[in-house]
């Protein structure tokens, strides 16, 4: 494979979508992996998480913005850990190696670049991001929760960062309770322009939260969302038969909240 033409190698690298693909490339062509590692993990981030960073300066800008919104960095504090250890765990999971890595996958735990931090009386170790591999590990291991950054951006109206993160793939990310970016925007009563931009990305309109089994349309009605946005949501073929945990549809809730006859008629389940 090392002798393949550059365009074929590049095509394979740009199509990498799983960590298994990267280890296969590492095993088959260690020199290609070494020479193109940053591009490999940049492609993996793009194809798995939907985030397309042109260079690492974009990542540094993202991290600065994450710090500025004071949200989105989730650290595993169950034990002392680091990005290096997270990568080692990932290698072990993929290769089946327990406690050590193969010669081709070396983990250099450089303590000088790590910081000891304390949170709620628990000490843990975190290392700053150096390259796209670190960023992938951080996202894959839960060190960075992109959805939480998206939600915080909606809350504080950091529009520039929000629409660097939102795209056709990330638009349907949810948190552990099933809340999507559109649902968050409706709950925060975001302005029309922001919600319309989110709708332009064609999110899943029938996603439900876990707490109350509410669909997007039910949340929109509960929050007394403006009629123009309700009408746009209705053009996206929502399932109006969805009921919340109390057995109520969007129509039932809208009727109780005194919506206009025009909206009520459109919310009726045929």
Q: Is 151 inside a domain boundary?
A: yes
Q: Is 203 inside a domain boundary?
A: yes
| Domain end point (choices 72, 106, 140) | 140
The pLDDT, as a whole number, for residue 110 is 41
31 and 109 fall within a common domain: yes
Q: Is 1 inside a domain boundary?
A: no
> Tokens 């919310």 — which residue?
267
The pLDDT, as a whole number, for residue 95 is 46
The pLDDT, as a whole number, for residue 202 is 95
Q: How far apart are CA 153 and CA 104, in angstroms?
A: 40
87 and 116 fall within a common domain: yes
Nearest to 86 by CA among 65, 114, 59: 114
CA angle 106, 53, 11 (to 5 degrees): 70
Nearest to 180 by CA among 157, 228, 214: 214
| Residue 183 tokens, joined | 């649902």
| Domain end point (choices 140, 155, 184) | 140
Q: How far apart are CA 123 and CA 80, in angstroms?
A: 7
Q: Is 190 inside a domain boundary?
A: yes
154 and 34 fall within a common domain: no
| Domain total of the chain | 2
The pLDDT, as a whole number, for residue 55 is 84
Mean pLDDT of each 10-residue bin along the chain, 270 residues long: 65 89 86 89 91 83 63 37 57 45 33 46 56 81 76 87 89 93 96 95 96 96 95 96 97 95 92
Quick check: 189 and 180 in contact, CB under 8 A?
A: no
Q: How far apart are CA 144 and CA 67, in angstroms?
A: 11
Quick check: 204 and 173 in contact, CB under 8 A?
A: no
> Tokens 């960590």 — which residue?
19
242 and 198 fall within a common domain: yes
Q: How does DSSP classify residue 191? A: -
Q: How far apart are CA 60 and CA 64, in angstroms?
A: 6
Please state the φ and ψ torsions of residue 98, each to the nearest 5 degrees. Answer: -105, 120
Please list, in sequence order, all residues whose beta carbon lies within 8 angstroms of the beta carbon of residue 11, skipping any fewer than 6 positions away.
none
232 lies in which domain range?
146-267
Q: How far apart are CA 115 and CA 113, in angstroms?
A: 7
| Domain end point (choices 113, 140, 167) | 140
39 and 104 fall within a common domain: yes
184 and 136 fall within a common domain: no
133 and 253 fall within a common domain: no
Q: Which CATH number is 248's domain given?
A: 1.25.40.20
Secondary structure (3-state) at 204: coil
Q: Is 50 inside a domain boundary?
A: yes
Q: Which residue stretches of 15-158 are H helix?
A: 19-28, 30-35, 37-49, 56-69, 83-95, 132-140, 146-156
The pLDDT, as a whole number, for residue 76 is 36
Please list, in sequence order, all residues whose beta carbon lies within 8 angstroms of the beta carbon of residue 107, skipping any fewer than 6 positions away.
84, 85, 87, 88, 91, 101
244 and 189 fall within a common domain: yes
The pLDDT, as a whole number, for residue 89 is 61
Strands (E), the chain: 115-119, 122-126
55 and 155 fall within a common domain: no
The pLDDT, as a whole number, for residue 50 is 87
Q: How far is CA 226 from CA 60, 232, 259, in A?
A: 38, 10, 10
156 and 251 fall within a common domain: yes
Quick check: 223 and 189 in contact, CB under 8 A?
A: yes
Q: Is 29 inside a domain boundary?
A: yes
Q: In terms of residues, how long is the chain?
A: 270
pTM: 0.72
181 and 108 fall within a common domain: no
């Amino acid at each position: 494979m090392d002798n393949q033409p550059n365009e074929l190698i590049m095509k394979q690298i740009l199509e990498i979508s799983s960590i298994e693909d990267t280890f296969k490339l590492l095993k088959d062509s260690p020199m290609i992996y070494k020479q193109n590692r940053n591009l490999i993990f940049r492609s993996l981030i793009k194809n798995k998480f939907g985030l397309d960073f042109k260079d690492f300066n974009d990542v540094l800008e993202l991290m600065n913005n994450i710090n500025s919104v004071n949200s989105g960095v989730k650290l595993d504090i169950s034990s002392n850990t680091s990005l290096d250890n997270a990568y080692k765990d990932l290698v072990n999971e993929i290769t089946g190696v327990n406690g050590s890595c193969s010669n081709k996958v070396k983990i250099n735990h450089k303590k000088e670049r790590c910081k000891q931090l304390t949170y709620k009386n628990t000490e843990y170790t975190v290392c700053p991001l150096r390259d796209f591999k670190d960023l992938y590990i951080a996202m894959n291991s839960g060190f960075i929760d992109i959805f939480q950054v998206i939600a915080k951006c909606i809350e504080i109206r950091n529009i520039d960062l929000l629409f660097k993160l939102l795209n056709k793939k990330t638009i349907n990310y949810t948190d552990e309770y099933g809340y999507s970016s559109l649902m968050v925007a409706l709950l925060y009563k975001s302005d029309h322009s922001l919600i319309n931009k989110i709708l332009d990305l064609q999110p899943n309109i029938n996603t439900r939260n876990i707490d109350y089994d509410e669909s997007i349309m039910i949340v929109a009605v509960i929050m007394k969302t403006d009629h123009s946005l309700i009408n746009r949501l209705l053009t996206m073929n929502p399932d109006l038969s969805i009921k919340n945990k109390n057995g109520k549809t969007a129509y039932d809730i809208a009727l109780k909240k005194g919506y206009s006859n025009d909206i009520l008629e459109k919310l009726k389940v045929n």
